[in-house]
């Protein structure tokens, strides 16, 4: 798994977009004290359940790989000229 440029920023933005997606869908209400790792896990599982992203093999599901998948998911929603993609 090759690390993307600006992956940390993409993950932060993916968490916000994923929270909006999940709450808009009525699947969850995130609490202010939820940790980033809990949010990442929930968003990843929801996107896999909704068939928005392809699941990782169960033996490869880890915090870092889920973060990477969410960064990829979010980067594909950005316009081609977005600074986070350069």
Closest CA to 43 of 72, 68, 14, 64: 14
Amino acid 59: pLDDT: 94
In a domain? residue 83: no
Whole-Å CA distances, 12 to 40, 44, 59:
10, 14, 25
Looking at residue 65, which CATH number applies to its domain? 1.20.120.1930
The tens place of each residue's pLDDT in the chain, 86 residues long, gives 777 888 999 999 999 999 999 999 999 999 999 999 999 999 999 999 999 999 999 999 999 999 999 999 999 999 999 888 88
pTM value is: 0.91
pLDDT of residue 12: 96
d(CA 28, CA 68): 22
The number of folded domains in the chain is 1
Identify whether 63 is part of a domain: yes
């Amino acid at each position: 798994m090759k690390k993307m440029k600006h992956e940390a920023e993409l993950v932060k933005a993916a968490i916000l977009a994923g929270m909006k997606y999940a709450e808009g869908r009525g699947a969850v209400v995130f609490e202010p004290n939820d940790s980033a790792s809990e949010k990442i896990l929930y968003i990843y599982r929801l996107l896999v359940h909704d068939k928005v992203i392809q699941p990782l093999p169960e033996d490869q599901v880890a915090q870092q790989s889920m973060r990477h998948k969410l960064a990829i998911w979010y980067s594909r929603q950005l316009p081609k000229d977005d600074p986070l993609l350069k």
